């Protein structure tokens, strides 16, 4: 026999989710080696979202993909203090595809602004992304910085631009080299390869209804309608990483526009907060002789190879 009445019956109003859900995917399995600085990277990411998104109403969702206890405790504390509206913990690492299946289907907002946990945002990133999303037709995704992506993934966007009345299309070396270089350096690419890539490729700038957008986008960070993203669910990926370009390819194949803001509102920190200082135009100390030595391409390649062997050995042993 039930004792009393459920108090929820007397609640007349319930909270409604914001139109926009900013969703962060996090994975920090331990705090050492490659992940030594990742707690600070995560904090910088979340703080930059809060500090740079004061002009748009949004809810913050964090999906933790099997992180260590220290990171889970930090996220729980952030939620308790009201800084995270939706917090989901996965016991195991589901990979990016598995996490996307939950995030992109479960986020309550009409619009999802997705990001990996290593993205540093500047003021205007969300409003700039939304302006493009809501001005251009049939938009699949908008990334909050310009950089050069694989042309095979935006062929439908160029086709639309070249056949749509009222679109001004300009191409060439439109992004300054320093902005281009900043992003590619964060991906660990050598300086000579970055220069060669810049010289052998080009940017495409569109203007439609007086709103500018660069052609291209990335699964690393994007803003999109939840209804559009649902068309690509579920993702079947058999590896944690390396297959996420499925979203880029499939959106292009279905004819969706893939666009970027013309201004660099987002920066990839990778696994270090060094980019936080450089983005803020703070002075970076000159590298020591030891640092210059280990940054030499042959030495760096060997050291990273050894690290990867140890990393895979560690997880192979844990999975047995």
- The model's pLDDT over 44-66, given as tens digits with 9 standing for 90+, comes to 999 999 999 999 999 999 999 99
Structure tokens at 36: 């030594």
- The Cα–Cα gap between 43 and 37 comes to 10
- The model's pLDDT over 285-300, given as tens digits with 9 standing for 90+, comes to 344 445 455 555 566 5
DSSP label of 59: E
Average pLDDT over residues 123-145: 98
Average pLDDT over residues 173-195: 91
Residue 319: the pLDDT is: 45
Average pLDDT over residues 143-160: 96
List the single range of 12-21, 151-160, 258-267 with lowest mean pLDDT: 12-21
Residue 313: the pLDDT is: 61
Residue 264: the pLDDT is: 96
Q: Which residues contact 97 (CB under 8 A, 6 or more apart)?
A: 234, 235, 236, 237, 243, 244, 246
Average pLDDT over residues 162-179: 95
What class is the 20-268 domain? alpha beta
Mean per-residue pLDDT over the chain, rounded: 87
- The Cα–Cα gap between 213 and 228 comes to 19
- The Cα–Cα gap between 64 and 68 comes to 10
Under the banding of pLDDT at 50, 70 and 90, the label for residue 281 is: very low
Provide the pairing of β-strand 119-121 with 139-143. unpaired
Under the banding of pLDDT at 50, 70 and 90, the label for residue 119 is: very high
Average pLDDT over residues 163-191: 93
Helix, strand, or coil (residue 81): coil
Residue 280: the pLDDT is: 37
Average pLDDT over residues 161-189: 93
The backbone torsions φ and ψ at residue 230, rounded to the nearest 5 degrees and listed phi first, read: -65, -20
b/e sequence 281-312, b meaning 16+ C-beta within 10 Å:
eeeeeeeeeeeeeeeeeeeeeeeeeeeeeeee
Residue 143: the pLDDT is: 98
What does the domain layout of the chain look like in residue ranges? 20-268
pLDDT for 67 beyond 70:
yes
List the single range of 9-18, 74-83, 227-236, 246-255 with lowest mean pLDDT: 9-18
Under the banding of pLDDT at 50, 70 and 90, the label for residue 3 is: confident
Beta bridge partners of 167: 208
- The Cα–Cα gap between 292 and 296 comes to 7
Supply the pTM of this predicted model: 0.83
pLDDT for 115 beyond 90:
yes
Q: Which residues contact 247 (CB under 8 A, 6 or more apart)?
A: 100, 141, 219, 232, 235
pLDDT for 21 beyond 70:
yes
Between these two residues, 302 and 152, which has the higher pLDDT value?
152
Residue 236: the pLDDT is: 77
Average pLDDT over residues 222-231: 97
Residue 274: the pLDDT is: 78
Under the banding of pLDDT at 50, 70 and 90, the label for residue 114 is: very high
The H or E element containing residue 213 is strand 211-215
pLDDT for 113 beyond 90:
yes
Q: For residue 275, what are the CA distances in angstroms to 55, 187, 284?
A: 25, 12, 10
């Amino acid at each position: 026999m039930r004792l009393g009445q459920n108090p929820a019956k007397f609640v007349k109003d319930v909270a409604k989710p914001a139109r926009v859900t900013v969703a962060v995917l996090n994975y920090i399995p331990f705090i050492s080696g490659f992940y030594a600085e990742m707690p600070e990277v995560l904090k910088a990411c979340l703080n930059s979202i809060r500090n740079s998104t004061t002009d748009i109403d949004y809810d913050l969702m964090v999906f933790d993909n099997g992180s260590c206890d220290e990171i889970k405790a930090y996220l729980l504390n952030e939620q308790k203090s009201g800084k995270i509206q939706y917090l989901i913990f996965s016991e195991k690492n589901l990979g990016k595809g598995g996490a996307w299946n939950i995030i992109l289907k479960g986020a309550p907002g009409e619009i999802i602004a997705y990001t990996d946990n290593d993205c540093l945002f500047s003021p205007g990133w969300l409003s700039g992304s939304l302006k493009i999303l809501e001005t251009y037709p049939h938009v699949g995704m908008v990334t909050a910085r310009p950089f050069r992506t694989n042309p095979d993934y935006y062929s439908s966007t160029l086709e639309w631009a070249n056949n749509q009345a009222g679109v001004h299309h300009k191409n060439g070396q439109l992004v300054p080299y320093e902005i281009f270089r900043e992003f590619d350096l964060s991906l660990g690419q050598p300086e000579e390869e970055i220069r060669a890539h810049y010289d052998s490729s080009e940017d495409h700038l569109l203007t439609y209804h007086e709103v500018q957008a660069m052609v291209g986008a990335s699964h690393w960070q994007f803003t999109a309608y939840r209804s559009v993203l649902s068309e690509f669910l579920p993702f079947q990926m058999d590896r944690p990483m390396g297959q996420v370009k499925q979203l880029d390819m499939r959106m292009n194949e279905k004819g969706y526009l893939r666009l970027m803001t013309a201004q660099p509102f987002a920066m990839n920190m990778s696994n270090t907060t060094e980019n936080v200082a450089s983005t803020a135009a703070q002075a970076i100390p000159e590298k020591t002789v030891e640092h210059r030595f280990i940054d030499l391409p042959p030495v760096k390649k060997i050291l990273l190879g050894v690290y990867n062997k140890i990393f895979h050995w560690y997880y192979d042993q844990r999975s047995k």
